[in-house]
Chains A and B, each alone.
Chain A
Amino acid sequence: MSDNRLSVFKTYKLYVGGKFPRSESGRVYEVTAKKSATGEAGTGKWLANAPQSSRKDARDAVVAARKAFGGWSGATAYNRGQVLYRVAEMLEGRKEQFVREVADAEGLSKSKAAAVVDAAIDRWVWYAGWTDKIGQVVGGANPVAGPFFNLSTPEPTGVVTVLAPQESSFLGLVSVIAPVIATGNTAVVVASADSPLPALSLGEVLATSDLPGGVVNILSGNTAEIAAPLASHQDVNAIDLTGADAALAKELEIAAADNLKRVVRPQPVDGGSVDWTADPGTHRLTAFLETKTVWHPTGALGASGSSY
């Protein structure tokens, strides 16, 4: 019986504004498996057709991200942590699917792919824990030479474009998305061009995880084509160039200068690949935060002699 069964292929779609649209352009491109860890992309078997996003898809994603920003940045840090933890729960439940997709995308054995997926879920939980702690680490009371309370608190930058790493299709992806949204930003994510399937499946997980629509928007396609309008977009506040090669990163950084976007350059800059399994530290959390400082007169040393 199973021999006669027709294959049911999955149609991978974009994730924009909490919905799963096809590309506005109607284009798709073929995604193939990597044969081995050293194999070139595009040499393996056909996996699926992924949508090839256009600049209008990018524009729509920014509109969705901007719309979601007020609610997400206004949610309590505690609530954001709960939502992100819920995402990790959902990832855990669909682990087998991600193991298969990561194995195909990165040419890994099943056990190695499973280790990568475990690390990615742990990474997500780790960032979920940071939501209500980062404010205490990077903010606080400042000593000043005057009778003032002086308090600094970190606030999210806004809409962040994230060019996900090209090689690490899932652990790298999680490592760049989670810190952006943990601090209250909303994200427009450009998935790895050759291996977008784990990212598109992540969209399905996010859609069922209490994460408000538009907080994360995932686009697949040619990185340079999608990134160019995002880098010059006046309503994008920051861009993470991790998935751009040196030449593209330079071009995008120039385009991003027009509205003074916050730019994170790919690390390391010499083109070597990043070790995504290493302890990430907090620099990706702090990269997309702005510091708000308030001065408040204490009155204690004021002329009135008041005691408070």
Chain B
Amino acid sequence: MDQRVAPKPEIETMPRGRAALRFVRQLAFALISIVVLIVIFGILNPRFLSAINWFHITQQVAVIAILAIGQTFIIATAGIDISQGSVVALSSMICAIILVDSHLGMVAAVALTLLLGAVVGAMVGGSIVVLGVPPFIATLGMLAIAMGAALLTTNGTPVFGLPNGFQAISQGTILGFPNMGWIAIVIALIAAFVLNKTRFGRYTLAIGSNAEAARRVGINVPRHLLMIYMLGGIISALAGIVYLSYTAAAQPTSGGNYELYAIAAVVIGGGSLFGGVGTILGSVLGALLMTILKNGTQLAGISSYVEQVILGIVVVGAVYVDNLRRRLR
């Protein structure tokens, strides 16, 4: 971090090389941490390294990675979404109810659930853009609303008896790799394209970096933010659908702390809560790290209560490091 020492243009390297170097440096922290955790958990319990456990890790990482991707776009605009966990619960409940109690079929159930996500996102985005409520409060409100709505759907009871075909989505493999992993990879590729290669992605980063500058060059900032939160809602609903397929039963109280995993994943992957920064690959690596932490502590015989404590510490620590990174510039 010695850019300050030499403000003169000593940047005679190849243009591409510099951007690539920046990218690698951003990911180095996540990559090194993953390797360290794998070694530690491998020593604590050799079963951690088994093929079947990594199959499970791949399934588990998918939901967190999908949420982290949605969170990446939101955090890149200097926003935050702490309602993801309860939107996962609500959308998996709605999807399950449609699948079990109606004859609409799987495609319609998925489509309607995604629509629900869009509506939830529009409500959040609307309260931010139209009512001027800060993202933290808007999504805190949605956290309560979605949680309450999820409980209301069945008066708090779980929904069982999903069609076998629906469960097969998460259980199947392609080329020996779990479908859920493939789903996450496809979404990550699309998201990376959108964030890095399209106007939509560029405006997302520009708004997070300097909303006033974005406004002055004619970008419709309110409309863009509304679209970002709608996208976030759709992605949360998608995570809910994948999660439902994986757990095979809908619990109105599911999805707990998922937003924390996702936020930690984004920040560990190089995203900044101050906005303007974030990569999809970084966030996916962050999601992998958080999943390894969750899975590894379980296999090491550490209680899930302790795991929650660790999660909280990791979130605060990651954001502290983000602050530090920013100040050292």
User: Does A pair with B?
Assistant: no
Contacts from B to A (Cβ < 8 Å)? none
